[in-house]
Structure 1
């Protein structure tokens, strides 16, 4: 297998992981989990989003959380924004790293941000300039890159066209997102190989959901194509509130466990990560989808049962 020696894990549990939860965590609870994730070695943390609190009430305390986190954190703290108002609110709070999301599917984009994809692309050009003028670093996530729950297959040519437009702006990274877990490994390899070959100097990442049990396999397929940045969510939490069936982000502990067992360095301490996942489970009050937190590491040995 053609695998990189190390990868970057981009943790989205405090944002994507919590946005469907009925229990809303307060700032102190979120900070405790964030501190544990950072102690585990997470270097990129999407801590929240600047969205309308009536639409996603779980993210209403994002600005307060950033105030608490920025005091002593050396990791990259990223906020998701859906529009120009979002980036202005992030700027007002002093956030330097921004993730803007748009959908390759017009129908999903309308459901998510009430705009067509072209309208979101046009808006981003203005946001990109705003970010540049205010010293902010922008990344873009292209949702439904591997399929839309409303439209079905999204042609590869459409993804390539969207990326071509995005690369005209001031951005560092583009993340291809499998928003409802529709992707398969061959499809993932074909698309990620195509974009890596076309834009050799652009930084690309992938965001997979494990909705249909193919999340880890899709990561391996993208690794074969040369992708070395992966979104994941503590405990396997999360999903898009505007896409039917979009449960189950790929689980951070499961990803780290698989890669480290394969000799791929993640710079994350799995034991500390499992402790953070346990904390999240206790705060939310229900079991989480992650597998390693249930079964333990594969290196764990058991005593032979007495005869």
Structure 2
């Protein structure tokens, strides 16, 4: 099994369902903490309407606060070419163009049919490429839809193969509800016609399969897996969705070269500070283990 990169999505998907909002300065500080720790890539915000998703207000202010070098490693969520225009104008370099495989969820989340989102993607690609950036094709509800149930894998493969999505740099397949099992995830990644685009897995841990599904995705060819500190997050338009797979758990499982006990401790502490600010509970098993009494184990925080 090849080790995949972690993209931490705390600042976007991780904050979406929290009852409290964080100011821009706090979010910028957290982004820099994650980047300094060695996390290769981050999601830092969303172009979703702040009246619908209040924790995402100020996302473009985060873009403005980061350096070009930092922004090279950061992504912002978009759903329309207009979103892309605004993000790029603010200085964003990398955008995640997201829509759902199921029409019912796409209408609830974005307000249009899946076909409408696919049809608009070439315009979004052109805007990003003209600015010298990167764009991801992100397919939410790649496994199950909260309204329609199971999603036909051929529908997902068809979107990936559609010529209108071919200009994407990456393909993100999202287990939005966290209901997939490892066999499903491995099979979809092994058979999705991504070509030379980078395959990415976005998982949730609703049924306790977050890490197992991420490892299965890697086994099927995924090169990047998404996680959020302490397992925060979820989609506000997907009933039944719970937190993301915890970044701490994914790192402990995949052991990238930059991960040392000291780095893990720094990330656990960052997650604890964030949880205290938000009034949320941790869902990370690795963070719990790091605070255990097994002092002879190098990964336990002293």
Structures share fold, TM-score greater than 0.5: yes
Q: TM-score, normalised by structure 1?
A: 0.90
Are the aligned partners of 2:160 and 2:194 in contact in 1 as well (CA < 8 Å)? Answer: no
Are the aligned partners of 2:94 and 2:135 in contact in 1 as well (CA < 8 Å)? Answer: yes
Gaps of 5+ in 2: 298-302
Q: TM-score, normalised by structure 2?
A: 0.92
- State how many pairs are aligned: 294
Distance change in 2, residues 1:199/1:17 (3 Å): closer
The alignment partner of 1:45 has SS state of strand
Question: Which residue does 1:257 correspond to in 2?
Answer: 252
1:201 aligns with 2:196: yes
Task: Quote the offset at 1:259 in angstroms.
Answer: 1.6
Separation in structure 2 between the aligned mates of residue 167 and residue 122 of structure 1, nearest angstrom: 7
Question: Which residue does 2:116 correspond to in 1?
Answer: 119
Give the alignment partner of residue 227 of structure 1, picking from 214, 218, 222: 222
Separation in structure 2 between the aligned mates of residue 108 and residue 153 of structure 1, nearest angstrom: 12
Are the aligned partners of 2:230 and 2:282 in contact in 1 as well (CA < 8 Å)? Answer: yes
Question: Which residue does 2:242 correspond to in 1?
Answer: 247
Distance change in 2, residues 1:277/1:44 (3 Å): same
Task: Quote the offset at 1:38 in angstroms.
Answer: 1.3
The alignment partner of 1:73 has SS state of helix
Separation in structure 2 between the aligned mates of residue 142 and residue 21 of structure 1, nearest angstrom: 23
Question: Which residue does 1:189 correspond to in 2?
Answer: 186
Q: 1:177-218: CA deviations, max 9, x gaps?
A: 0001110111111111112xx444221110110001111111
Task: Quote the offset at 1:294 in angstroms.
Answer: 1.8
1:267 aligns with 2:264: no
Separation in structure 1 between the aligned mates of residue 108 and residue 156 of structure 2, nearest angstrom: 19
The alignment partner of 2:199 has SS state of strand
The alignment partner of 2:92 has SS state of coil
The alignment partner of 1:163 has SS state of helix
Give the alignment partner of residue 296 of structure 1, picking from 282, 285, 290: 290
Are the aligned partners of 2:137 and 2:165 in contact in 1 as well (CA < 8 Å)? Answer: no
Give the alignment partner of residue 93 of structure 2, picking from 93, 96, 111: 96
Are the aligned partners of 1:103 and 1:144 in contact in 2 as well (CA < 8 Å)? Answer: yes
1:86 aligns with 2:83: yes
Task: Quote the offset at 1:275 in angstroms.
Answer: 2.1
* 283-292 vs 7-16, which moves further: 283-292
Task: Quote the offset at 1:132 in angstroms.
Answer: 1.8
RMSD (Å) for aligned C-alpha atoms: 2.0
Task: Quote the offset at 1:302 in angstroms.
Answer: 5.3
Separation in structure 1 between the aligned mates of residue 72 and residue 268 of structure 2, nearest angstrom: 19
Question: Which residue does 1:281 correspond to in 2?
Answer: 275
Distance change in 2, residues 1:155/1:299 (3 Å): farther
Are the aligned partners of 2:181 and 2:209 in contact in 1 as well (CA < 8 Å)? Answer: yes
Question: Which residue does 1:49 correspond to in 2?
Answer: 46
* 222-231 vs 144-153, which moves further: 222-231
